[in-house]
Amino acid sequence: MALTTYKQKRSFNQTPEPTGGKAKAGELRFVIQKHDASRLHYDFRLEMEGVLKSWAVPKGPSTDPAIRRLAMMVEDHPYDYRDFEGIIPEGNYGAGTVIVWDEGTYTPIENFPDKKSQEKYLLKQLKEGSLKFVLYGKKLKGEFALVRTNGMGDNSWLLIKHRDKYASDTEITEKDKSVQSGKTIDKVASTSKKIWGRKIIEPGTTAKDKSAPVKEKPAPKKTTAKKASTTKPAPVKKKINADLDDAPKAPFPQTVSPMLATLVDKPFDQPGWLYEIKWDGYRALSLCNKSEVNIISRNNKSFNEKFYPIYEAVKLWGIYGIADGEIAVLNDKGISNFGALQNWRSEADGEIVYYVFDLLWLDGHDLT
């Protein structure tokens, strides 16, 4: 975008926002500004090509990998906007109070020798719709991704935290003070001197400025930060149509292995035989005790953390049973990619699916 759109939306004789500025040499910078405009939101900005590529995040960032936050891409902002904290007056675009909620440096996840090669790679990812980077901020740290969504327009993205040592289900937005001034957005709204049209009168002096005063936006009422809702759909209550009457009763197995392929001389087709598609993925067993779930590999290694979207989905089944299936990552054409599965960290790395082939045990009955 350049800064044309940014400048067209603003009257710089009526707003304290910067008109532009050159990026500095050294590390790439990022900033997140909390902005109490018509609706409270967070502006996430990454330095690229000498400007700040920008996204409006309505609910703010999250450090929980299971939570994906909508991020709407907006116009590029000038580099020196990263330091802006103050009040945009009523009647101007984006009127409201702004604080620097977090700031720091960032890099691509991959290693590059210099800033120029980092930017080149990041711009390629931006064009492809999947940005993966590491933040070194005062509040946000570790790996994140910005992923353009399908079916919601080119400007709709998702901000996602990768699962690393900085991941947490703590509501990070409850840390509500500016990293620049140490003030909350309410405090800045009531005390900021950075507002066009306001004359600051020091004690013992009189006002000589005859310019018409600008009506200031009243300080917003204080609210208690609440943890973002993590309400999930109720478990599927549709009855599983399995004929358990003829199945032998058996306790929950202490050990269980997935069915594996057997080599034969030539293919055959016989009554009573069904064939599974080889999806080029990881075989996975789901051991379910209602909402308690453990998804394991054929070597008994847990997939719960690595493939957390599958884990969260299986918990919603609400069954007491064991399912056998295969985890795969699909590209945009629906074709599985084993390399992408091996390197999968989050939805930014591709669509992850769980193909269930068989129900091995259910409600005290052996179905093998």
Residues 279-336 pLDDT 10s: 889 999 999 987 789 999 988 899 988 898 899 899 989 899 999 999 999 887 788 9
Q: Which CATH number do you get for residue 340?
A: 3.30.470.30
Q: Which amino acid is at 286?
A: S
Q: What is the pLDDT of residue 48?
A: 95
Higher per-residue pLDDT: 235 or 314: 314
Token reading at 31: 């900033």
- In a domain? residue 95: yes
DSSP conformation class of 336 = B
Label residue 146 exposed, middle or buried (CB < 10 Å: 0-12, 13-18, 19+): buried
pTM, to two decimals = 0.57
- In a domain? residue 12: yes
Among 23, 70, 25, 26, which residue's Cα sits nearest to residue 47?
A: 23
* Number of compact structural domains in the chain: 2
For residue 325, the enclosing domain spans: 232-368
- In a domain? residue 217: no
303, 282 contact by CB (below 8 A): yes
- Considering 104-113, 188-197, 261-270, 326-335, the range whose residues carry the highest mean pLDDT is 104-113
- From 161, 191, 221, the end of a domain falls on 191
Q: Mean pLDDT throughout 195-207?
A: 39
**Predicted confidence (pLDDT) at residue 100 exceeds the cutoff of 90:** yes
351, 328 contact by CB (below 8 A): no
Residue 245 and residue 99 in one domain? no
- Cα distance between residue 33 and residue 83, in whole Å: 9
- In a domain? residue 214: no
Higher per-residue pLDDT: 190 or 3: 190
Residue 266 and residue 355 in one domain? yes
Token reading at 154: 């080119």
- In a domain? residue 167: yes
**Predicted confidence (pLDDT) at residue 43 exceeds the cutoff of 60:** yes
**Predicted confidence (pLDDT) at residue 200 exceeds the cutoff of 60:** no
Residue 154 and residue 55 in one domain? yes
- In a domain? residue 212: no
- Cα distance between residue 82 and residue 73, in whole Å: 16
Q: What is the pLDDT of residue 193?
A: 67
- In a domain? residue 216: no
DSSP conformation class of 327 = E
- From 158, 191, 224, the end of a domain falls on 191
Token reading at 72: 């709407």
Length of the chain: 368
Among 65, 266, 44, 22, which residue's Cα sits nearest to residue 165?
A: 65
Residue 165 and residue 71 in one domain? yes
**Predicted confidence (pLDDT) at residue 69 exceeds the cutoff of 70:** yes
**Predicted confidence (pLDDT) at residue 233 exceeds the cutoff of 90:** no
Model confidence band, residue 235 (pLDDT cutoffs 50, 70, 90): very low
Label residue 25 exposed, middle or buried (CB < 10 Å: 0-12, 13-18, 19+): exposed
**Predicted confidence (pLDDT) at residue 3 exceeds the cutoff of 70:** no
Q: What is the pLDDT of residue 194?
A: 59
365-366 and 130-137 strand pairing: unpaired
Strand partners, 135: 106, 142
Q: Which amino acid is at 294?
A: N
- In a domain? residue 207: no
Higher per-residue pLDDT: 363 or 272: 363
Model confidence band, residue 91 (pLDDT cutoffs 50, 70, 90): confident
**Could you tell me which residues come within 8 angstroms of residue 150 by beta carbon, excluding any fewer than 6 positions away?**
none
Extended strands (E) in the chain: 29-36, 40-48, 51-57, 68-78, 86-88, 96-108, 130-137, 141-148, 156-161, 282-289, 292-296, 320-330, 351-362, 365-366
Sign of the dihedral defined by the CA atoms of residues 318, 323, 327, 331, in that order: negative
Residues with active-site annotation:
278
- From 167, 191, 215, the end of a domain falls on 191
